[in-house]
Chain A
């Protein structure tokens, strides 16, 4: 059977074109793409960079699970979930999720499901670097 999911973790820059090319299909009427970008501030504090790290083998499994579940739940054709690791500067892209479907509603819903679930379950962490220090996001030591 044709592979309908693409999951990837890389320390190279992510490619929107790669995700687009993977999900694009003649049977589809549209593609929804979520692109995460590194924001320059958190709670009014200037961010210099975000350093992403992953438990890579498990993160890939969890991303694959999300893509498979989304294919089951929504009437979509193909899904790409790509995540970057390593230090990212303001405006860099830590995550891309692309979804293609015959009709747009399913692709919007599946894309939102994928990014929401990724943020809850995939073992990836970011450390925010400020001028005067650094902090693990969401951590409760």
Chain B
């Protein structure tokens, strides 16, 4: 199934993209997605320190992804 990945802050620089369409197996968890991303993008080795949002809400590692989910990689925020 396909999800949309969004990158913000430093991860935009690390990956060289701000968004991409991404193929993951059915019933993938966030945890599985992180492993897949680390394997593909060596620069995301610290992704476990980053938060993940699914469809604009923070998500936990065990959450399962659905087709067409919008998944954002959220490095440490620094607003204010």
| Residue in A54, A58, A59, A136 whose beta carbon sits within 8 Å of that of B10 in the complex | A136
Q: Within 8 Å CB of A78, what residues of B?
A: none
Contact A61 B76 (CB under 8 A): no
Q: Within 8 Å CB of B46, what residues of A?
A: 140-141
Residue of A nearest to B75 (CB): A139
Question: Whole-angstrom distance from the CB of A76 to the nearest CB of chain B?
Answer: 19
B3 interface residue per 8 A CB criterion: no
Q: Within 8 Å CB of A140, what residues of B?
A: 46, 49, 75-76
Contact A123 B74 (CB under 8 A): yes
Question: Once the chains are docked, how many angstroms separate the CA of A120 from the CA of B51?
Answer: 11
B80 interface residue per 8 A CB criterion: yes
- Once A123-B72, A123-B74, A140-B46 are accepted as A-B contacts, the answer to whether A94 and B80 lie under 8 Å apart by CB is yes
Contact B80 A55 (CB under 8 A): no
Q: How many residues of A contact B (CB 8 A)?
A: 29
Mask, B66-80, CB within 8 Å of A = 1, is: 000000101111111
CB-defined A-B contacts under 8 Å, sample of 11: A55-B8, A61-B56, A61-B57, A95-B80, A122-B80, A136-B10, A138-B76, A139-B9, A139-B76, A141-B10, A141-B43
Q: Which B residues form the contact surface with A (CB < 8 A)?
A: 6, 8-10, 13-14, 43, 46, 49, 53, 56-58, 72, 74-80
Q: Could you list 7 further interchain pairs (A-B, Cβ under 8 angstroms) beyond the known A120-B77, A136-B9?
A: A58-B72, A83-B80, A95-B80, A121-B58, A125-B9, A136-B75, A137-B78
